[in-house]
């Protein structure tokens, strides 16, 4: 056991809360759902403690299952960002096409050939054992829709878009941000 005379206690407390409202039979009710995590540890009085905050992002709840489907107008890989095409189908994203910056359909959950059905997610959590992300760092759309933690810069792109934050090497908290065009920031 640590000697309290030589050490200071470090308490980390992380609260989260969510207000849930519902309407039934002309009556509105609200519930507060709260969670907290705490960790107590001891550090030497001579130590410097650095606190790093890692965002815990939660997307909006979607329809049951949180997954939508679309027809692929091009062959698509799984676990890449895809864009809506003019006819409502989905296609590979192009970082050199300004229209694609605002037409993000989601992240594909499966690969598909032309005319096949592809499943997409817009929010929530996504795990894929082929990723090797650094936890707590942002994830961007890369060339061909590949998800990357290194943004693509000109001349290979005219815009960039953050699509979430890595929670671990293989898990992404999906949270689409607005596209930023180079020259705007």
Model confidence at 12, pLDDT cuts 50, 70, 90, reads very low
Would the pLDDT of 119 be above 50? yes
Indicate if the pLDDT at residue 57 is higher than 50: no
- The residues near 9 (Cβ < 8 Å, ≥ 6 apart) are 40, 41, 42
In sequence order, the 6+-apart residues with CB closer than 8 A to the CB of 56 are: 16, 167, 173
Structural contact between residues 154 and 182, judged by C-beta atoms closer than 8 angstroms = yes
This model's pTM is above 0.85: no
The more confident residue out of 28 and 179 is 179
pLDDT given at position 107: 97
Residues 137, 165 contacting (CB under 8 angstroms): yes
Q: How far apart are the first and last CA of the chain?
A: 52
155 prior amide bond cis, ω within 30:
yes
Q: Per mean pLDDT, which range of 35-49, 59-73, 89-103, 144-158 is the poorest?
A: 35-49
Whether residue 18 is predicted with pLDDT greater than 90 in this model: the reply is no
Whether 1 has a pLDDT exceeding 50, the answer reads no
What is the pLDDT confidence band of residue 53, given thresholds at 50, 70 and 90? very low
Give mean pLDDT, residues 48-62. 44
Question: Average pLDDT over the chain, rounded to whole?
Answer: 78
Buried b (16+ CB within 10 A) or exposed e, 58-79: ebeeeeeebebebebbeebeeb
Cβ atoms 64, 105 nearer than 8 A: no
Q: Extract the tokens encoding 26.
A: 């002309």
Q: What pLDDT was estimated at residue 86?
A: 81
Confirm if 176 and 121 have CB atoms less than 8 A apart: no
Instruction: Tell me the H-state helices in the chain.
Output: none
**Rounded-to-integer distance, Cα 35 and Cα 123, Å:** 21
The arithmetic mean of pLDDT across residues 108-130, rounded, is 94
Strand partners for 106 = 82
pLDDT at 131: 96
Q: For residues 16-36, give the mean pLDDT.
A: 53
Q: pLDDT digits over 85-96, tens only?
A: 988 899 999 999
Residue 77: the pLDDT is 96
pLDDT of residue 21: 55
- For the record, the structure tokens of 27 come out as 């009556």
The Cα-based distances of 137 to 35, 52, 55, 87 in angstroms read 24, 12, 9, 35
pLDDT number for residue 88:
87
Q: How many Å apart are CA 56 and CA 165, to the nearest integer?
A: 8
């Amino acid at each position: 056991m640590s000697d309290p005379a030589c050490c200071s206690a470090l308490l980390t407390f992380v609260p989260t809360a969510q207000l849930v409202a519902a309407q039934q039979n002309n009556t509105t009710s609200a519930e507060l759902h709260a969670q907290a995590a705490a960790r107590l540890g001891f550090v030497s009085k001579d130590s410097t403690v650095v606190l790093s905050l890692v965002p815990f992002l939660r997307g909006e709840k979607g329809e049951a299952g949180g997954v939508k489907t679309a027809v692929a107008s091009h062959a698509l890989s799984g676990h890449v960002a895809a864009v809506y095409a003019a006819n409502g189908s989905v296609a590979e994203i192009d970082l050199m096409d300004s229209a694609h910056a605002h037409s993000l359909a989601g992240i594909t959950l499966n690969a598909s050939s032309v005319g096949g059905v592809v499943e997409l997610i817009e929010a929530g959590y996504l795990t894929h054992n082929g990723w090797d992300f650094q936890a707590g760092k942002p994830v961007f759309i890369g060339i061909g829709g590949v998800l990357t933690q290194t943004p693509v810069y000109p001349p290979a792109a005219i815009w960039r878009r953050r699509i979430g934050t890595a929670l671990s090497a293989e898990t992404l908290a999906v949270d689409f941000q607005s596209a930023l065009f180079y020259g705007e920031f």
